[in-house]
Structures are given as structure tokens and as C-alpha cells.
Amino acid sequence: MVTKIIEIIISPLMAFVIGIFFLGLSRKIMARIHWRYGPPIYQPVIDIIKLFYQKSISHGFIFDLGIILALAGSIVVILFIPIGKITPLSSSGGLLVILYLMLIIPLGIALSGGEGANPNISIGISRKFILSLGYEVPFLLILLTVMKHYKTISIVEVVNIQQSTKWAIFSSPLFLSGIAYFLILPAMLGIRPFDIPTAPQEIASGPKVEYGGKYLAFMLIEHSLHLYIGIALFVNLLLGGASNIIIFIIKVIIVFIIGLFINAVFPRFRIEQAVKYLWRIPTILALAGLILTMV
């Protein structure tokens, strides 16, 4: 019981630290690729603390509630994702619950933004949902392939089977799913070339435009947790999970850095281009994986 409670407290904190580290790291690496020096790696932490003490505006009740829900949703999702051997709540409902809890996050932000009544927000949210529909098609196919292949809907089981045999990405039909997941990862994380919903130069950061002060700090935290969730799912489902925390963190960081190099060199897609891309190569790969698993 006590260990369970400690696990429940530790895993979101760890996700938070890793996510913040990702944000700092990404700014640093991007700067170096662009031949700049870049901010210190702990800059996001300074930003969050600073933002908490700054002025902000509120457009009403759901404007506040939405963002609280989004952040709470992220924390709950993290509790359902195993980290190495730590599995705080993953035994109750499995992958389907994770999939549906992940809905709370974009819905919360969208509801909050909706009350902002700003045209930039509306464009951003519309793009976010269209993009989600774009990457959910291959993503769901990948999830179903994994569930079908291992004949379980529990993520803990998936990790255990991979630990005792081999990583899913190295087993025969699932490597297609693995490639597909990697191809949609930037879209899921919302980083360039798929940062269409929050494009700063076009629509003034989209849903974030009305946020200031603590709202912006919450968005920053939410974004960092979101980076962690997307990659942690990839590691657990296809890269064999991990037997302890250290290996898990190393895997997560490696995936993130590889993703970052793509992020740094590509320009942003238009929304139609993004959806067309997502519905072509990744979807075909994921579909092929699922069909091969069935035969």
C-alpha cells in the first residue's frame, strides 16, 4: 500500500522532470543546430516560476476549468503508463483506458480556448482536432496491432511479454508498426513539422494566445508532460518497455533526441499536407502490420 502511494506520487513528478528536461534540451539542441549558443538547459523551470507570479486574465469559468482539466488529465494518464517495473494504476482497464483518458487533454484545452473567443484560438483548435484525426488513424491501427499480436488489452502484459521474449519492434509484423509510430511521433507530440495548431508566426500560438501568467505556466507544464506521454507509450508498446527506471529513462531520451533532429531541420507543414502525409505512408505501414498480424 505504502509503496503504491509512493509510486503514485513519484511517477508524475518524474514525468514532469523528464518533460521539463526535454523542453530545455530541445531549445539547446535546436540552438546548436542553428549555430546559436542557446539558453541554459534549466530555462523552462525559470520560466514556469516567473510566469506564476505574473499578471493574467480570465475569460470566465470554463476558461479556468478547461486548463485545470487538461493538466489533471495529463497527470492521470501518466499514472496509467508503466515506468519500468513501476505500474501505479495500469492494472485497471489497460490500453483502452489510456486511450480514452488521453482525450481529456485536448478537450480541456479546446474548451478553455473556446471561451477565449479569439479567432486565432478557433483556428488553432480546428487545426489541432484535424491533426489529431490525422494521426489517430495510424495510431489506433498500431495499438490494435499490438493488442492483437500479444492477445491482451493490458499495457503491463505487453511490457512483460516483451521483456521475456524480444522487443516488439524486432518481431516480424510489428516492425512495420514501429516505423509507423516513429513517423507519426512528431505529429503526436505537436513539434515541428507538425506544430500547425500552435504556429507562433501564423496564428499567434493558437490556443495559447489568450493565456498569460499562470495559464501559460500550466500550458508549459502540460506540453512537457505531453512530450513524455507520447514517447513513454512508444517505449512501452514497441521498444520493449524496461526492467527498471534507468533503462526506461535512457530509452525515452534517445527516442526524443532522434525526434528532435527531424524537428530542427524541417519547415512547418500546412494542415492539409500534414493530414495527407499521415494518411499515406504511416497509415499504409500500420495497416500492413495489422493485416500481417491477422494472417
Partner 1 sequence: MNLQLILLVGFGGAIVTYFAGKVWKALRELFAVIFSLILVGMIIYVYNRYSDEILKIGFLNFNIVFRLNALSWLFAIMISGITFLSILFSLKYIKGRENLNFYYAMLLLVNASMLGIVFAGDLISFYIFWEIMSWSTFLLISYNKGKALNAGLKYIIMSLVGSMAILIGIILLYLKFGSLDISFISANINTVSTKYIIYISSLFFIGFGVKSAIVPLHTWLPDAHSEAPSPFSAILSGILIKMGIYGFIIILYIFWGIKIITTLNPTLNIFTMVLSIIGALTIVIPTFIALLQNDAKRLLAWHSVGQMGYIILGISFGTSLGLAGGIFHIINHASFKALLFLTVGAVEYRTQGVRDLNSLGGFIKKMPVTFITALIGALGIIGVPLTNGFVSKWLIYKSSILEGHPFLAFAALIGTWGTILSFYKFIHNIFLGQLPRKYENIKKAPFSMQLPLIILSVLIILFGILPGIPLKVINAIGISFGLKSLNVTIWGIASDTGTLNTINIFSAVLVASIVVWLFFRIGKKSKKVPQESNYAAGSYIPEGKYHYTVEFYGPLYRMIAPYLRDVIDDFYNWLAERIKVLCNGIRKIYTGDVGIYVLYILFFLALLIFIYLRQVLW
Minimum distance of partner 1 from residue 41's CB (angstroms):
23
Measured in whole angstroms, how far is the alpha carbon of residue 15 from the centre of its chain?
11
Compute and round to an integer the Cα radius of gyration of the chain.
Answer: 19
What letter represents residue 276's amino acid?
K
- Judge contact between 222 and 211, C-beta under 8 A: no
Minimum distance of partner 1 from residue 101's CB (angstroms):
6
Minimum distance of partner 1 from residue 114's CB (angstroms):
3
User: Which residue, 75 or 284, has its beta carbon nearer to partner 1?
Assistant: 75
Q: Residue 61, Cβ neighbours under 10 Å: how many?
A: 9
Burial of 279 (0-12, 13-18, 19+ CB in 10 A): middle
- Pick from 220, 224, 195: nearest CA to 21: 224
- Judge contact between 225 and 16, C-beta under 8 A: yes
User: Which residue, 3 or 34, has its beta carbon nearer to partner 1?
Assistant: 3
User: Which residue, 39 or 213, has its beta carbon nearer to partner 1?
Assistant: 213
User: Which residue, 195 or 210, has its beta carbon nearer to partner 1?
Assistant: 210
Minimum distance of partner 1 from residue 1's CB (angstroms):
14
User: Which residue, 94 or 240, has its beta carbon nearer to partner 1?
Assistant: 94
Distance, in Å, from the CA atom of 146 to the CA atom of 164, rounded to the nearest integer, reads 16
User: Which residue, 73 or 240, has its beta carbon nearer to partner 1?
Assistant: 73
User: Which residue, 135 or 256, has its beta carbon nearer to partner 1?
Assistant: 135
Distance, in Å, from the CA atom of 55 to the CA atom of 60, rounded to the nearest integer, reads 16
Minimum distance of partner 1 from residue 62's CB (angstroms):
6
Minimum distance of partner 1 from residue 93's CB (angstroms):
5
Distance, in Å, from the CA atom of 27 to the CA atom of 35, rounded to the nearest integer, reads 12
- Judge contact between 260 and 26, C-beta under 8 A: yes
Distance, in Å, from the CA atom of 189 to the CA atom of 135, rounded to the nearest integer, reads 11
Minimum distance of partner 1 from residue 232's CB (angstroms):
17
Distance, in Å, from the CA atom of 261 to the CA atom of 40, rounded to the nearest integer, reads 19
